[in-house]
């Protein structure tokens, strides 16, 4: 059975509180300052983008940076995604107890915890890898992966909340960089894709096949 991390000490709680406050100030304050300075025609859309990055759409919001109306390009959205992951992860690390008692959030957190347990049962190697296991869990498209799932996996693996938070942020940063690189690659080939759709279809099909086999190999390795 996986172990569960102990409650944070007083010193770790202070560190987590400081990280939580700093992450919120940097994220929301940074966005507000950028909007005031950039004066982009569609700068207000950044709020919708950061909400998407922190919730269900997740890292796929990075591809919205290819739109001419997006105030941020994919790499800027990748940086914003790291900030969103830090804010969400720090919020969970600080407030797992109180949040779990709230009417709607509590059941959602419990479902996330249960899914994390099922993933660890299916991929036992994650348990043996601890910190790196959380990073891989967040990076790979495993069930329930993401900031919330990664937080629970870290807890179930016995990581401190601080180490679990950094593992979640690192995994999220790797995902964000991957998505931004893909978005830039797609954007750079946009004209060629429009001129020769068959080449586009073939390239996408080949890419999907390669990703599928790479993911399958990684998933099979984690099951051993």
Check residue 199 and give its pLDDT. Answer: 66
* Residue 196 domain boundaries: 189-224
Number of neighbouring beta carbons within 10 Å of residue 27: 19
Alpha helices, DSSP H only, in the chain? 10-24, 30-38, 45-54, 74-100, 105-122, 124-129, 131-139, 147-156, 161-188, 190-195, 197-222
User: Is residue 2 in a domain?
Assistant: no
Check residue 52 and give its pLDDT. Answer: 93
Query: d(Cα 11, Cα 19) in Å, to the nearest integer?
Result: 13
State whether 152 and 216 are in the same domain.
no
State whether 67 and 30 are in the same domain.
yes
Copy the structure tokens of residue 211.
């990703």
Query: d(Cα 142, Cα 152) in Å, to the nearest integer?
Result: 14
User: Is residue 127 in a domain?
Assistant: yes
Name, of 10-14, 43-47, 96-100, the range with top average pLDDT: 43-47
Q: Is 70 exceeded by the pLDDT of residue 33?
A: yes
State whether 146 and 216 are in the same domain.
no
State whether 62 and 158 are in the same domain.
yes
User: Is residue 34 in a domain?
Assistant: yes
Please tell me which residue, 9 or 72, carries the higher pLDDT value: 72
State whether 144 and 41 are in the same domain.
yes
Is residue 94 within 8 Å of residue 17, measured between CB atoms?
yes
Using a 10 angstrom Cβ sphere, with 0-12 exposed, 13-18 middle and 19 or more buried, the burial of residue 85 is buried
Copy the structure tokens of residue 134.
């959380």
Please tell me which residue, 56 or 46, carries the higher pLDDT value: 46
User: Is residue 134 in a domain?
Assistant: yes
To the nearest 10°, report the CA torsion of 202, 205, 206, 211. 160
């Amino acid at each position: 059975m996986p172990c569960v991390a102990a409650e944070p000490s007083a010193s770790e709680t202070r560190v987590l509180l400081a990280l939580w406050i700093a992450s919120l100030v940097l994220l929301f304050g940074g966005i507000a300052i950028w909007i005031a300075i950039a004066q982009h025609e569609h700068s207000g859309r950044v709020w919708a983008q950061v909400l998407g990055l922190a919730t269900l759409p997740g890292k796929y919001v990075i591809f919205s940076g290819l739109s001419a109306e997006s105030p941020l390009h994919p790499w800027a959205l990748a940086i914003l995604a790291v900030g969103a992951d830090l804010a969400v992860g720090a919020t969970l690390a600080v407030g797992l107890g109180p949040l779990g008692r709230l009417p709607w959030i509590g059941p959602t957190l419990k479902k996330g915890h249960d899914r994390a347990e099922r993933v660890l049962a299916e991929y036992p190697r994650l348990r043996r890898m601890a910190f790196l296991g959380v990073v891989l869990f967040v990076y790979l498209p495993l069930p329930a992966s993401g900031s919330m799932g990664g937080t629970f996996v870290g807890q179930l693996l016995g990581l401190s909340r601080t180490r679990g938070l950094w593992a979640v942020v690192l995994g999220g940063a790797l995902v964000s960089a991957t998505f931004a690189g893909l978005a830039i690659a797609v954007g750079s080939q946009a004209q060629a894709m429009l001129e020769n759709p068959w080449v586009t279809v073939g390239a996408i099909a080949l890419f999907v096949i390669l990703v599928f086999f790479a993911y399958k190999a990684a998933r099979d390795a984690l099951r051993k």
